[in-house]
Structure formats: C-alpha cells, structure tokens
Amino acid sequence: MRTLKRFGAESVAFVLATAIFLVPFALMLLTAVKDPKQAIDLDFAWPTSWPVVENLVAVVEARDYVLLRAYVNSTIITVASVALLVVFAAMAAFVLQRRPGKVARLADFLVLSGLIIPPAVVPTIWLLQALGLFKTLPGMILAEVAFNLSFAMLLFRAFIAAIPRELDEAAQIDGCSGLRLFFRVIFPLLRPVTITVILVSSVNIFNDFVNPLYLLPGDDNATVQVTLYNFQSQYNTQWNLLFMDIVLIMIPPLVLFVFFNRKIVAGMTAGAVKG
Amino acid sequence: MTKQETGPRTGPGPAPGHARPSVRRKSAYPYALYLPAGIVFLVIFLVPTVMAFYFALTRWTLFDSEFVGLQNFQDFLAEQNLRIGFQNTIVYAVVTSGLKVVLGLLLGVLLTSKLRLRGFLRSVVFFPTLVSTVAVGITFAMLLKPQTGLVNQALALVGVDGRDWLGDATTALLSVALVDVWKGVGLATVIYIAGIMSIPQEYYQAVAVDGGGAWHRFRHVTLPLSWPATYSVIILSFIGGLRSFDLIWTMTRGGPGFTSDTIASIIYKQYQAGFFGLSTAGNVILFLVVTAIAVPLNYYLGKRQVAA
C-alpha cells in the first residue's frame, strides 16, 4: 500500500515536471519541422509533412547566410572570453584568497560592486569607440570578460579556500612562487571549479542578448541570439523557420549540458552556496 | 560576503609577515597576479561606470557633450512612464526572487529526497536555465497568445476563461515574471540542493530520536540550515530581477503602452531614440536603486547568515 502511494506521488511529480518544463520544448521542436502553413497554428498536431531539410536550409541561407556568420562570431566571442576569464579570474582569486590586507579588501569591494552594479552601457560604447574597439569582436570579448569576472572570481575563491596552504609552502621550499606557483601547482588543482566556470560562463556568454545588442550592432557582427529577430516582423512571422533557428542555437548549450550535467551542478554549488 | 572579510584574519593561517620576519622576502602571492583582471575590469567596467555620472549631466552624442546639469534627471523623472517603470522594476524583482526562493526550496527538498526519478527531474528542472532568454521569451509569447495559445487552450479544457496575458495591462508584467521564474528556478533549485546536501546527517538523526516527523525535519533543520543557500538565491535573483531586460523586451517591449516597462527597458528606449545623456541618466538611477537595495540587503542577510 505504501509503495503504491509512493509510486502514485512519483508519477504525479513526473507528469507535472514534464508538462511544465518540457512541453515548451516539444512545441519548439514540432514547429521547427512543420511546413509554413501548419506551423502558424503553433499546436501539438503531428506534422503532416516533414520539411526538416528545407527548413534547415532556409534558415541557414536566410539573409545571405547570416546564421553561419553569427555562429562563427558567437563561437569566437565565447571561446576567447571564457579562456581569458578563466585565467584572469583564477589568478586574481588566488591572490585575493591568500593575501589578506588592504589590497584584498579593495579587491573584495570591487568584486562585490561588479556583481551589483549594472554596466553603464552607453558610456561603455563611448569608451570602446575611443579605443577603436566598438563594433569589433575584441571589444565584445573584453566586455564579456569584464562583466563576468566577479562571478567567476567568487566561484574560484571559494574553491581555493579549500586548498591547504601547506601546499603553497611546500612548493615555495622547492623554489616555486608567484606565477610559477600558480600555474604549476594551483591552477591544475582548480580543475573541477574551472570546468564549472567554463560551462556557466560559456552558456551565459553564448546566450547573451543585451550586450551584443548595444556593443556589437550590424549584420556583419551578428551573434546567434540576434538572428532570432530575422524571422519575425510586425506583419509576418515564419514560425517554422523561427523555431528551427531557436532549435539550432540551442544545440551548443545542450551538448555541454548532456556531457557535463553532473559537473555543472556539483562545481557551481561548491562556490555559490558559500557565497 | 561580509563573513569572508573576517575569515582570513581569524583563520589559523601563517602570522602576518610570513616565513622569517627578519628577512623581508618577496611574497609568494605577488600583486601582479591581479593585473590582467584588474586592468580589464578597471578600463571596461569602472571607467564607464564613473563616466556615467558625468555624461548623465550632459546632452550627449557620443562625440560631443554639452553640460546641462540635472536636466536629464529632471526629464527622466518627469517622464510619466518612469513611475510605472520604477514600480514595475521593484515588483518584478520581488515577485521573481520570492517565487524562486519558495519554489527552489520546495524543489530542492523534493529532489534531495529518496525519489527514484531524482536524476531525471533534476535535469528537467535545470534544463531551461541553459536556453537563451530570447528563445524562451519568443516561445512563451506564443504559448500565451489569447486565442491560439496553449495556455488558454489548456485552461479552456478545465473550464477557465483565459485572457490576453501579455496584451492586458494588469497581467503583462506578472506573466513575464512567471516566465522568468520558469526559466530561473532551476538554478535556485540547484543551489538549494547543494545547500541541503551539505547539512550534516546528525541533525536529522537527532530529530528522528526525538520522534519528529517530516514537517519537523523541514521546519527545524532544513529551513534554518539551508540559510546560506537562501541568501545566495535572494541576492542573485533579486539583483538579476532589478536589471532584467531581455525577457521583458522580447515578450512585451514594455507594453501594452508603458505598463510593463522597467528601468532597463526605458534606458534602452532612450538609447534607441538617440538620447544618450538621458539614457545614461537612467543608468545612473538604476545604479542607485540597485545599490540602495542590494547593499543593505547583502549586509542584513550576511549578518543573519553568521547568526544562523
């Protein structure tokens, strides 16, 4: 009787969670493979025809292959900024955690302000323009690094706190300090949290819509999120293509998720909860 | 965060001055390691933030600026939709972070229990956090359409008359907030899962010895001891809610009228219209609002965290 009740409760949980969290994805997928006429209905009817390849080709070819350019741009931005972010944040978090004092207090304050303060977007445009970096990928990359530093440092710092200082001292006796101590001894130990930072920030940066909207306007510099506006206009929306586009740009985060599911959760919580 | 400040000093680390106090050796932790992060942060983040305070006082075209004093603030504050935008920003942040705390905690408790489908459910709940906000916004705008949308069709099945969720001034903002919760509750849940899992089992055993039931366990162990998780969830989602722009922009563009405008969407509209000084003034106001709320909140929650 008891197991039966439990089974019932679990089924309810399963059905509810599926309905609430997966139904929207089912709609995206179904609409993406329908023909334009059927796609307008936006319902769960089974597709009468399966123009999967046609839709795919149409999305890729739209606006002179903007999606492909966007994919390249988004990939460059994501990979480059995450690489810089990991190294910069880990280095800074290491000194911050290990060397208390006035400088650490200032750094602490800056990390906190980076978390709290909304970036001043228009002055950022002005600054990037002065540096010749407005509407360029390097400018966008540096901006993503700056905007994501605080969170990455928080995660790294919590993790570094758990690494015993004796290790540093042993390395110092062997003549290792500063940069070498960090890259030879500490950085390799940070692997679990590094994976988390890579996953969280690459999903964040790849999915970023607001910053490219301000800092990287123009078709040449389109990022994948911005392409979602290609198939929507005030009068006419090509639903099947729009949702095919959504599905296509969901793939990279999805792949990361499938492969690193457990690690995302494990590493993220290690840092976030200690806050 | 306030807690960390006292951490290193009370900790059993080496005495200040390191190794041999007589020889002033170079520290093993050179400040140079701060440099790359520091430079990027200073140049790309701090300089614009500080300059914003100046440009907010000017009529500005990016190339020249003419000092106009507090005119922009007057204009921005005189804008009739600002009052709504201000209110909306607060309501949005409170509703989203409140629901994320409550639902995240419940889901966290559920998904750390001995459920067989635990792994699957965890993935399902976390999944939406990986999808871009814009894609989520577009999809839900479809689901919430008055006649054709699935939400209303489902409601009709149980005999409830749905409405035009996003087109109706009274429900637009709340509908967007609920979608935000749908997307973000996975992260809150994960944070709670970790918080709950780090509670030592002895506490639960103690409750069992005293003959306490499930409610007792939740009320007297899980709830108070997952406080650090609550703190993280509140801070993260509250600040996120105050700044939130992309979901609102994709789903309603601040409409109908200005009824779902937030400070961030007003800033974008002014920017689009070419009023850079005005837009920056909006940013300064957002900055002040966020700071005025986040700093005391962080302080208060941090204090409770130490006490708990």
Q: Is residue A128 domain-resident?
A: yes
Instruction: Quick: pLDDT tens for A108-126.
Output: 999 989 988 899 989 999 9
> Looking at residues B167-189, what average pLDDT do you find?
92
Residue of B nearest to A150 (CA): B41
Q: What is the C-alpha separation between B88 and A275, in angstroms, rounded? A: 28
Residue type, B11: G
Q: Are residues A94 and A17 in the same domain?
A: no
Q: Is residue A251 domain-resident?
A: no
Whether A220 and A64 have beta carbons less than 8 Å apart is answered as: no
Q: Are residues A7 and A130 in the same domain?
A: no
> Looking at residues B84-99, what average pLDDT do you find?
93
Minimal C-alpha gap between A77 and chain B (Å): 16
A137 part of contact set with chain B, CB < 8 Å: no
* The domain boundary residue, chosen from A58, A87, A102: A58
CB atoms within 10 A of CB B74: 12
Q: Is residue A263 domain-resident?
A: no
Q: Are residues A3 and A102 in the same domain?
A: no
Q: Are residues A124 and A177 in the same domain?
A: yes
Contacts of A225 in chain B (CB under 8 A): 132, 134
Structure tokens belonging to residue B239: 């600040």
Greater confidence (B150 vs B129) lies with: B129
Q: Are residues A98 and A16 in the same domain?
A: no
Q: Is residue A272 domain-resident?
A: no
CB-closest option in B49, B130, B132 to A117: B49
Q: Is residue A226 domain-resident?
A: yes
Among candidates B303, B198, B302, B34, which has minimal Cα distance to A97? Answer: B34
Q: Tell me what pLDDT residue A264 has.
A: 64
The answer, yes or no, to whether residue B15 has pLDDT greater than 60, is: no
Q: Is the peptide bond before A253 cis (omega within 30 degrees of 0)?
A: no
Q: Total domain count for chain A?
A: 2
Which candidate in A121, A131, A166 is best for mutational testing of the B interface (most B CBs within 10 A)? A121
Q: What is the band of B22 on the pLDDT scale with cuts at 50, 70, 90?
A: very low
Here the ipTM equals: 0.88
Contact A43 B291 (CB under 8 A): no
Q: Are residues A98 and A23 in the same domain?
A: no
Contacts of A91 in chain B (CB under 8 A): 33-34, 36-37
Question: Which residue carries 């940070």 as its tokens?
Answer: A190
**Contacts from A167-173 at CB under 8 Å and sequence distance 24+?**
A168/A98, A168/B28, A172/B28
Q: Are residues A102 and A189 in the same domain?
A: yes
The answer, yes or no, to whether residue B300 has pLDDT greater than 90, is: no
Task: Report A:51-110 residues touching B (Cβ under 8 A).
Answer: 84, 87-89, 91-92, 94-100, 103-105, 107-108, 110
Q: Tell me what pLDDT residue B5 has.
A: 42
CATH of the domain at A190: 1.10.3720.10
Handedness of CA B148, B154, B159, B162 (dihedral sign): negative
> Looking at residues B178-200, what average pLDDT do you find?
91
Tell me the average pLDDT of chain A: 87
Q: Tell me what pLDDT residue B122 has.
A: 85
Contact B134 A225 (CB under 8 A): yes
Q: Are residues A83 and A138 in the same domain?
A: yes
A4 part of contact set with chain B, CB < 8 Å: no
Among candidates A223, A230, A195, which has minimal Cα distance to A207? Answer: A223
Q: Are residues A28 and A91 in the same domain?
A: no
Which candidate in B33, B136, B182 is best for mutational testing of the A interface (most A CBs within 10 A)? B33
Q: What is the C-alpha separation between B125 and B119, in angstroms, rounded? A: 10
Instruction: Give B136's contacts (C-beta < 8 A, 6+ positions apart).
Output: A24, B128, B179, B182, B183, B247
Q: Are residues A77 and A212 in the same domain?
A: yes
Lowest model confidence (mean pLDDT) among A188-197, A249-258, B5-14, B23-32 = B5-14
Q: Is residue A254 domain-resident?
A: no
A15 part of contact set with chain B, CB < 8 Å: no
CB-closest option in A92, A239, A249 to B34: A92
Q: Are residues A123 and A74 in the same domain?
A: yes
Q: What is the C-alpha separation between A184 and A198, in angstroms, rounded? A: 20
Domain hosting residue A30, numbered range:
1-58
CB contacts < 8 A (A, B): 272
Q: Tell me what pLDDT residue B2 has.
A: 41
Q: Are residues A80 and A200 in the same domain?
A: yes
Q: Is residue A265 domain-resident?
A: no
> Looking at residues A83-104, what average pLDDT do you find?
95
Whether B134 and A225 have beta carbons less than 8 Å apart is answered as: yes
Task: Report A:187-246 residues touching B (Cβ under 8 A).
Answer: 203, 206-207, 209-210, 213-214, 225, 228, 232, 239, 242-243, 246
Q: Is residue A195 domain-resident?
A: yes
CB atoms within 10 A of CB A22: 13
The answer, yes or no, to whether residue B101 has pLDDT greater than 60, is: yes
CB-closest option in A24, A116, A172 to B290: A116
Which candidate in A34, A117, A211 is best for mutational testing of the B interface (most B CBs within 10 A)? A117
